[in-house]
Amino acid sequence: MISSQLPDSWQTALAEEFDKPYFKELENFIEEERKSKTIYPPQEDVFSAFELTPLEQVNVLILGQDPYHGENQAHGLCFSVKPGVKTPPSLVNIYKELKNDLGFDIPDSGYLVPWAKQGILMINAVLTVEAHTPNSHKNKGWETFTDAVISKVNQKESVIFVLWGGYAKNKLKLIDTNRHTVIQSAHPSPLSARNGFFGSKPFSKINSALSQAEKSVINYQLTNISEQLTVIN
């Protein structure tokens, strides 16, 4: 049962989803897929975003679309990759914008766990994918589940929702824009970053909104991976 891997705060908030037919079908689908195919991220990492950012600590939500489908890349946080894995193109562009926005020193790693620990929930709309087959788990039920996640976060006060690209912007209907801050722009992928992502300054906007809500701002600066792993261990 994949639902049993969710941490307590999210288990309670999303309990009603687990009994719905779509979720039972999703669990069966994932179980069958893993029997004969390589599925990313590994089962133990599917809900790592939720483990790192409990519901009560969520101040920012960044929404991606589909997990990375290359070996050792996806580990349950949108845009993030495991230590030692080459930084993917979209994240390269995120780093470039951070440098231009806040003077960010670009690290040698795409491991974004320190952001998650500061209250940024980084989820994809779809939480699993078949190796080397993008969007292979689209329309299998994950979107319904993550819509429920967004709706639960919407029930909180003063959250910042970061919607990059047309797919993410479609989730605006789930968000009460009178109570929350929404930051929208083009997606950071190489196909669209120059059409509105570069120069959008989302990171300073996030911190400005956090300050206005009297919440702690995010320290985006990441150390090089050798230093991160020393701190982790």
Check pLDDT > 70 for residue 230. Answer: no
Active site residue 147: no
pLDDT tens digits along 135-189: 999 999 999 999 999 999 999 999 999 999 999 999 999 999 999 999 999 999 9
Strand 129-130 relative to strand 39-40: parallel, antiparallel, unpaired?
antiparallel
- Domain segments of the chain as ranges: 2-232
Q: What pLDDT was estimated at residue 74?
A: 97
Convert the pLDDT of each residue in 65-78 to its tens digit. 999 999 999 999 99
Report phi then psi at 168, rounded to 5. -65, -40
Q: In this predicted structure, what is the pLDDT of residue 226?
A: 67
Relative orientation angle of helices 21-36 and 142-154, to the nearest 10 degrees: 130
Per-residue pLDDT, 231: 52
Residue 167 phi, psi (nearest 5): -60, -50
Kindly state which CATH superfamily the domain 2-232 is placed in. Uracil-DNA glycosylase-like domain (3.40.470.10)
* 66, 130, 135, 155, 205 from 142: Cα distances, Å: 10, 14, 11, 20, 29
Q: Which residue has the tokens 């489908």?
A: 69
66, 105, 108, 176: which is the annotated catalytic residue? 66
